[in-house]
Structures are given as C-alpha cells and as structure tokens.
C-alpha cells in the first residue's frame, strides 16, 4: 500500500470519528434565551407596578445573570489542562480528547517503536544455501531497506555498500521493500508476505524471522532482530490493567508479539497484521460498545488512528502518524499516558464544579434580581466574582 493510499485511508477513517456534543455551547444558548425572556417579563411587570425602577431592576437582572461564568466553565478548564500537559511533553491536537479520555475502556498498542524502543539490532543472519556470503546478503538488504522508514530498517544502515545500486524501489508499507540491486530483483520483508503458505507449516522457525530476503521466489536469507522494551512500558501496562483492557496490534510476527506481551502482561496480542487488519480489530471492539484508544508510531498506524476514539503517536514516530494523531507524546514517554488520564479526569471534575457554581450562583441571584433586591453595581460585583471563581478553580489544573 502506497503512502498516498495511507493518507486517503486515514482521512476516510477520520471522517467517521465520533462527534462529541458541545455541551457548553448548547447550555449557554438555552440559558441566554431564558434570561432574555425573564428580563422581558421583569421589565413588563415593574413597568406596571413601579415604572421609575423598572429600568434599573431589568438592568440588574441582565448584569447579574450574565452567562460569563457559564461560558468560561469549559474553555478555561480545557486551556489550563492543555497548558499543563504541554509542560509535560504531551501535545493535544483534538478538542475532544479531554472529554473522551475518561471514558476509554481499552488501550491498543503497536509494538515496534511504541512498546519497544524501535532500536533494533541484528541478532542472527540465517543464510539459505551457499550462493551468498553474510556480508553480501547484508549489503543487499541494506540497499533495499535504505528506502524504508520502518524502525526495522535502521540496523541494516551500518552494512550499506554504496557500490550496490538500488533501482525501481517499491515500498509496501507494513510489509517490506522490493527493488533491483545490481540487475537482480529482490524482496525483503515479513515472512508471511513473501513466503508461500506451504512454507508457513513446514518451516515455522523461518516464519519467526523478523524479515527475509527473497529473489526469484527463492529464500536467500532470514534476519532475526532484537528490540528493547521501553523502560516505562511495564509500569504503564500494570496501571492500565487495573481498570482498562490492553491489547497489542502489530505487524510483527506473532511469536515476537507474544514474547513482548507476556513480559508486559498485555491481555491480548495480535501479530502479522496489516493496517486494514488493525482497523478491523479496532472496529470489532467498537461494535462491542468499547471505547478504544490507539497508541502507535508508524506509517501503517495512521489509518488506524482515524478509526480509534483517541489516537496517540510517539514523538519519535513518522510525520504521517503524528499528523493523523489526536495526541502526540513529544517526550516519547509511555508514562505520559497515565498523566493524560489523570489530568483528563481532573479536568472533567473541575468542569462539573464550574458548572455547579455557575448554575448555583444564577439560581440564587436571579430570583433576588427579579424581585428588585439587587442593585446594578452589586450585580456587577456578583457577576465578576462568579467569573473569577470559575477561572481560579480552573487554574488548579496548572499545579502539579
């Protein structure tokens, strides 16, 4: 699948992202309508009973019940929360994140570059036959992998021989690379992609290779790479497992996924997945009424981001992944997800407190203003104090 196709698929997925209601705007609209109707009724009543005070009482009603506090309840909290998260290296790109995060039931993780550092090292090279030396297969692999952005391509860089010319390169995102090296057509990538089904059963060891090099439908070499699990991955998964589901959706082979999954105590691990397979897994969870967040870093994670309720990209990830994500972990720390959950829950609580105060204040002051017990200057003070309290409450989100 080409890079352009991934972009189109990502845009298509994002078009179906759930739309969360703008509660604050709707409430403010109804509230203003109620206040205006009340003010008109107040003016009519006092014009008939005490004409000389009708204007001042009506003015007090309008000033005292100004919806400033109500309108500030949500945006001030979200602004403070976003600022606090930015300080911790967490960039929020979509406004719905803070509302949706407290409702997340399941976290889905990519493996390479997300749960692991993505800093691969070649552990073993298994050469098939006697036609190539280890140095030759590494040089051919390096020439092909130099055109790939996948983390698995990086350890081949040190074996690059610039005397080998690579032509007509085709990158199959999430699968591998094809091209001509020294007039010979090669393919390098996932064993499940390059090897026929008969090999899958006959040589399971070969299927566990990180990638294989093939030419003329003949296996030339298999490469086994090792990757380090991120230091904070274990702590994050342990915390999430208390109240959330955790799953792994990876394009790597199943054995590698299960090995990492077992080390981190992840509930379910799915390997050998294409971008379409990952999207299908996400949508399957959603059909079970599960709100899901996806954490990834690669090109093939971008379309999956659009399908998830919340998408998070590692700061070291590809530009396409970061472009399509709702959240970017600029500090590359998985522990930041715990911070995001905690701040989003606190933000939700503070927004509720702000609304409670705004409605409570207006419920008390409106009858008093209508009855003529509040003068305009007292109304100004009350309205100002109400707004200041809402802002001060929101500012608590800036404290660590």
Phi and psi at residue 231, to the nearest 5° = -60, -35
- State residue 123's pLDDT score: 87
Computed over every residue of the chain, the mean pLDDT equals 85
- Contact present, 173 and 296 (Cβ < 8 Å): no
Q: For 167-290, where are the alpha helices, taking DSSP H only?
A: 191-194, 197-202, 204-207, 233-241, 254-264, 275-287
- State residue 248's pLDDT score: 95
Share above pLDDT 90 across residues of the chain, in percent, rounded to a whole number: 37
Which residues are known to be catalytic? 110
Q: For 65-116, where are the alpha helices, taking DSSP H only?
A: 68-87, 97-100
Give mean pLDDT, residues 40-62. 87
Band of the pLDDT at 22, cuts 50, 70, 90?
low
| Interacting residues of 207 by C-beta distance below 8 A, sequence separation 6+ | 191, 192, 195, 199, 200, 253
- State residue 9's pLDDT score: 43
Band of the pLDDT at 12, cuts 50, 70, 90?
very low
pLDDT surpasses 80 at 385: yes
- State residue 1's pLDDT score: 44
- State residue 24's pLDDT score: 64
């Amino acid at each position: 699948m080409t890079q352009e196709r991934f972009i189109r698929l990502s845009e298509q997925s994002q078009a179906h992202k759930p739309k969360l209601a703008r509660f604050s705007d709707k409430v403010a609209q109804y509230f203003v309508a109620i206040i205006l109707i009340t003010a008109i009724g107040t003016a009519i009543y006092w014009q008939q009973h005490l004409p000389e005070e009708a204007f001042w009482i009506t003015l007090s009603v309008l000033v005292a019940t100004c919806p400033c506090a109500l309108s500030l309840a949500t945006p001030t909290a979200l602004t403070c929360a976003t600022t606090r998260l930015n300080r911790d290296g967490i960039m929020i790109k979509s406004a719905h994140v803070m509302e949706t995060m407290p409702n997340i039931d399941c976290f889905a993780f990519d493996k390479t570059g997300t749960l692991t550092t993505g800093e691969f090292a070649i552990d073993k090279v298994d050469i098939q036959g006697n036609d190539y030396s280890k140095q030759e297969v590494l040089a051919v692999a390096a020439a092909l992998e130099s055109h790939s952005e996948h983390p698995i391509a990086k350890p081949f860089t040190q074996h690059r021989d610039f005397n080998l010319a690579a032509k007509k390169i085709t990158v199959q995102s999430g699968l591998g690379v094809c091209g001509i090296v020294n007039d010979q057509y090669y393919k390098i990538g996932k064993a499940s992609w390059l090897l026929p089904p008969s090999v899958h059963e006959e040589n399971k060891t070969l299927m566990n290779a990180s990638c294989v090099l093939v030419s003329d439908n003949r296996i030339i070499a298999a490469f086994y790479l090792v990757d380090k699990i991120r230091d904070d991955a274990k702590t994050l998964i342990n915390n999430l497992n208390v109240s959330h589901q955790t799953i792994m959706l990876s394009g790597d082979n199943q054995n590698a996924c299960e090995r990492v999954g077992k080390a981190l105590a992840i509930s379910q691990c799915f390997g050998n997945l294409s971008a379409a397979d990952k999207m299908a897994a996400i949508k399957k969870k959603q059909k079970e009424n599960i709100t899901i967040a996806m954490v990834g870093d690669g090109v093939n994670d971008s379309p999956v981001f659009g399908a998830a309720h919340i998408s998070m990209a590692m700061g070291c990830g590809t530009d396409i992944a970061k472009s399509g994500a709702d959240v970017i972990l600029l500090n590359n720390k998985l522990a930041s997800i715990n911070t995001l959950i905690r701040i989003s829950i606190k933000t939700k609580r503070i927004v509720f407190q702000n609304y409670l105060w705004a409605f409570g204040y207006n419920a008390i002051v409106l009858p008093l203003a209508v009855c003529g017990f509040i003068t305009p200057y007292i109304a100004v003070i009350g309205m100002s104090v109400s707004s200041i309290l809402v802002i001060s409450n929101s500012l608590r989100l800036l404290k660590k």
